[in-house]
A and B are shown apart, each in its own frame.
Chain A
Amino acid sequence: MAETPKSLDDVVKNPFASKASAASPDENSYLFQRFEKLEFTGTAWSYFKIYFINILLTLLTLGLYVPWARVRRRRYFYSNTRIMGDGIDYLATGFDLLKGWLLVLAGFALFYTLPFFDFSIAYLDMIFLIAVFIAYPWALNKSLQFNARNIVWRDVRFTWHGSYWGVAVNLFLAPLVGFLTLGLLLPLASRMMKHYIAKNYSFGSERFEITTNLGDFYKAWFKTFLLGFGIAVVTIMPLGLAYFNQNLLEMIDMNSPLRWTIILIMLQLLMVGLFLATTNFYRAQTRNLMINGLRLDDNIRFRSDLSGLRLAWIVLQNAALIILSFSLLLPWAHVRYYRYLTENTYIRPYNDMTQFVDNERNAGHSVGDAFGEAAGLEITL
């Protein structure tokens, strides 16, 4: 066996010698840096291929491919998101997700075979549903934990520190109370959610911190309310006028059942549009508040410049295009939405972001993650 070369010059002319060493900042260099845009390097075409090949392989394997499909979808979005040029990566494998997936499937099967067993317990399916309901916060908590440990930047992973009751109170009970009070407490609930999420993430061993102002959340809510009201007035008024316009009425056959179908479809579309517009407007505002209030390691700051109207417009256009293209343009719509979110997010690094260490290795299990996916639970930042 050849002798191991001892220095770089033994093997190759030192390629680093010509450049000034970038990795060791001298005393005078700036530790504080400017805000830098996050970059998204994905394209509609590349995601288009991933998306439909995922569907094909899932169909051909009768669903067994689903965990791998999920990994590919998540990895695509994470690894194409770059912070200071370095992509985030998602490290979970299909096998990691398979276990949770199989368990959720077993639950599914159990639910459907329950009626065949007579345990002489009344409302057995009710009990099952309540059990699922109780499991929700647990699943979301475990899912956040599992995924955080699998998201890595450079070689430092994230960690989620939430607990069952914390998730239940902040991420389930708070929004529920927000809705039950007809939205009056919704800004408070949004703030609780955002704070809980931010405070329970750490990058390596460094916890995130957040400061926001409750008044700002109420401002965002009020703006959303005005927007919704405005859209409703602008769209329903002409409809109302048309309804009472005699000329128009004569043109339409009043007794035709088709007329009612058209009116119902129009109303439904209007409601869905209004819902999409207002929720995304509100989401953009509160996301800005959260990201702008976020801090890491005292010196690292973040910025989010989303325009609520722009986001609402993107989502409405996406919805229309997805429907008109029979979901062929869905990957394109996803990429477009995600790109808008990413490219309006900024980070102000400190010390070239080299100061983080990761001391944990355990990633936990994927049961909660699979349950969460099945139940449509999702936390997007």
Chain B
Amino acid sequence: MQITGSFTPQQTSKRYPALLLVDEPNQSSDQLMLAIDGHDPALAPVTIVHVSAMMAGADWRITLAGKGVFTLSAPDLPESLTPFLPKGAQRGFFIGLAERLRWWGMIIVFMLILASLTGIRMGLPAAGDYLARYIPIHWAKNAGDSTLRQLDQLFLSPSKLSLAKRRHIDQIFANMKAKLPPDAIQPKLIYRSSSSFGPNAFALPGNIVILLDEMVEFADDDDVITGVLAHEIGHVTNQHGVRAVAQSAVIAIAVGLVFGIDDSFVEEIATLSTSLILSSQSRKFETEADRVSLEILQQLGRDPASMAKFFDKVAAECGEGCTRSSFFDSHPRLDQRRALFE
């Protein structure tokens, strides 16, 4: 059998018409011969050391030990060459199967892509949560402390609340802490003021709860302050901070991995879906913290309806903008949150 192609001597750009000979009349069956036009010697026994993987439209690049490269233009590697191929060459042929797919094969590929995307969508937040459980609490506290330091440098200023007011809120906070199970993470309350965040309170990874003066003024009601602080305690005891960091890390790494295939547009979509997943996760956390808040309010014998009134006040303050919702919101809609406390 004669296989027609061309031959390039090692590390040159020369090109000769050439033949690979297998099982020709005067040839031993375990020998592969190369015949080269216009080259001396014209005939030589050769060994194949490497064959390029199958690739649509590409020539086969067959590397011959110590000689050079035999190039073959054919959709498939001739059957007769199989006994002379190096061991590893067969593995690449798996991918060759993919090249032969027809349109219905691609439909199956698409269905599999959708299925794995769904699986990943479900699995990633869970994987992040799982990871978060193995993060020691003092790591989380370190993270919280350094976040606080940065916030202090950039946005926060010391609280201007009177000492009496602070004592009063500290007392409320202590009452709530007393209701926590003994093995729960013990939250720590600190006071700050900030013009850029408005009326707000938040929990950092670890155990820090920050209450802003603006929130105290805006709420102006012990029940509401209790509800708000209880909500933040819910974040702390449920470790939402660390879980959010772990989840965003897992998702970011996974998305980077999968869509690292380099495509700015696909990357955009990936970033978009990352923030969609993270936002939906964040809304879940907020609802969970609201439930804790409700529970604590009931345990302390305070009126949950005051939280409903508080949400009304927030809604009135920010007007139309707060009644609309989008999939990118970090918090559930106000009326949904309000309904929980009624």
Contact surface of A with B, Cβ cutoff 8 Å: 1-2, 4-8, 10-12, 15-16, 19, 21-24, 41-43, 46-50, 52-56, 58-60, 62-63, 66, 69-70, 72-73, 75-76, 79-80, 86-87, 89, 105, 108-109, 112-113, 115-118, 122, 124, 153-156, 204, 257, 319, 322, 327, 330, 352-359, 373-374, 376, 378
Contacts of B57 in A (CB 8 A): 41-43, 46, 76, 79-80
- Neighbouring B residues of A24 by C-beta, 8 Å: 38
Which 5 A-B pairs give the minimum distances between C-beta atoms? A63-B257, A79-B58, A2-B28, A46-B56, A112-B249
Q: For B15, what are the chain A residues with a Cβ–Cβ distance below 8 Å?
A: 23, 86, 154, 352, 354
Number of A-B contacts defined by CB within 8 Å = 225
| Nearest neighbor of A4 in chain B, beta-carbon distance | B45
Expressed in whole angstroms, the Cα–Cα distance for A322 and B263 within the complex equals 12
Given contacts A2-B28, A59-B113, A66-B260, contact A117 B139 (CB under 8 A): yes
A60 to B263, Cβ gap below 8 A? Answer: no
Contacts of A355 in B (CB 8 A): 13
**Which of A41, A54, A87, A352 is most buried by chain B, counting CB atoms within 10 A of its CB?**
A87
Q: Are B264 and A376 in contact (CB under 8 A)?
A: yes
State whether the Cβ of B19 lies closer than 8 Å to any Cβ in chain A.
yes
| Chain A hits for B21, CB < 8 A | 11-12
Interface residue? B77 (CB, 8 A)? no
Bound CA span A150–B257, Å: 23
The contact of A155 among B11, B24, B53, by CB within 8 Å, is B11
Chain B residues proximal to chain A, CB less than 8 Å: 2, 8-17, 19, 21, 24-28, 31, 33, 35, 37-39, 41-43, 45, 52-53, 55-59, 61, 68-69, 71, 95, 98-99, 101, 106, 109-110, 112-113, 116-117, 120, 135, 139-140, 142-143, 145-147, 149, 205, 245, 248-249, 252-254, 256-258, 260-267, 269, 320, 324
Once A5-B26, A12-B24 are accepted as A-B contacts, the answer to whether A116 and B143 lie under 8 Å apart by CB is yes
Given A2-B27, A5-B26, A12-B2, are A69 and B261 neighbors across the interface (CB < 8 Å)?
yes
CB of B135 within 8 A of CB of A75, answer no
Some 9 contacts from A to B, beta carbons below 8 A apart, are: A15-B19, A23-B14, A50-B98, A66-B260, A75-B58, A76-B56, A154-B12, A155-B8, A374-B260
Q: CB-CB < 8 A to B112: which residues of A? A: 56, 60
Contacts A22-B17, A116-B140, A373-B260; is A11 near B24 (CB within 8 Å)? yes
A112 shortest CB reach to chain B, Å: 4
CB distance from B227 to the nearest CB of A (A): 29
List of B residues within 8 angstroms of A354 by Cβ: 12-15
Give bound CA distance, A47 to B41, whole Å: 41
Interface centre among B8, B35, B56, B59 (most CB of A within 10 A): B56
CA distance A353 to B13 in the complex (A): 7
> Are B257 and A58 touching (Cβ within 8 A)?
yes
Given the interface contacts A2-B28, A15-B19, A53-B109, does A108 sit within 8 Å of B143 by beta carbon? no
Q: Which residues on the A side are within 8 Å of B249 (C-beta)? A: 109, 112-113
Which B residues touch A105, using CB under 8 A? Answer: 253, 257
* Complex CA distance for A55 and B2, rounded to whole angstroms: 39
A5 and B33 within 8 A (CB):
yes
Judge whether A1 and B261 touch: CB under 8 Å: no
A12-B19, A79-B58, A116-B139 known; 8 new pairs, CB 8 Å cut-off, are A4-B45, A5-B43, A16-B17, A46-B56, A62-B257, A75-B53, A115-B142, A330-B265
The reply to whether A86 and B71 contact each other, CB–CB distance below 8 Å, is yes
Contact: B31 with A70, CB < 8 Å? no
Q: How far is the CA of A355 from the CA of B245 in the complex (A)?
A: 59
Q: Quick one: given A46-B56, A80-B57, A374-B260, are A330 and B266 in contact (CB under 8 Å)?
A: yes
With beta carbons under 8 angstroms apart, the residue of A58, A116, A357 that contacts B142 is A116
Q: Are A322 and B139 in contact (CB under 8 A)?
A: no
Whether A11 pairs with B106 at a CB distance below 8 angstroms is no
Q: Which residues of A contact B149 (CB under 8 A)?
A: 122
Min CB distance, B242 to chain A, in Å? 8
Q: With A70-B262, A118-B142, A118-B146 given, is the CB distance from A154 to B13 under 8 Å?
A: yes
- Chain A CB count within 10 A is highest, among B25, B59, B205, for B59
For the complex formed, measure the closest distance between the CB of B196 and the CB atoms of chain A, giving whole angstroms.
20
Expressed in whole angstroms, the Cα–Cα distance for A353 and B14 within the complex equals 7
Contact call A56/B263, Cβ cutoff below 8 A:
no
Query: Within 8 Å CB of B110, what residues of A?
Result: 52
Residues of B within 8 A of A5 (CB): 26-27, 33, 43
**Cα A124 to Cα B43 with chains together (Å):** 66
Given known pairs A55-B261, A112-B252, the reply for A154 and B69 (CB within 8 Å) is: yes
Tell me if B33 and A11 are in contact (CB < 8 A).
yes
Contacts A59-B258, A76-B56 given: A327-B13 contact, CB under 8 Å? no
Q: Which residues of B contact A2 (CB under 8 A)?
A: 27-28, 31
Give the chain A neighbours of B61 by CB distance below 8 A.
89
Interface centre among B15, B140, B266 (most CB of A within 10 A): B15
Instruction: State A2–B69 Cα separation when bound (angstroms).
Output: 26
Chain B residues, Cβ within 8 Å of A62: 254, 257-258
B12 x A155 contact (CB < 8 A): yes
In the assembly, what is the distance between CA of A330 and CA of B10, in Å?
38
In the complex, chain A residues whose CB is within 8 Å of the CB of B256: 108, 374
Contacts of A15 in B (CB 8 A): 2, 19, 35
Tell me the nearest residue of chain A to B98, going by C-beta.
A53
**Complex CA distance for A156 and B12, rounded to whole angstroms:** 6
User: Complex: how many Å from CA A109 to CA B120?
Assistant: 19
Chain B: minimal CB distance from A321 (Å): 11
**A46-B102 Cα distance, complex, nearest whole Å:** 10
Let me know if A21 and B38 touch, CB within 8 A. Answer: yes
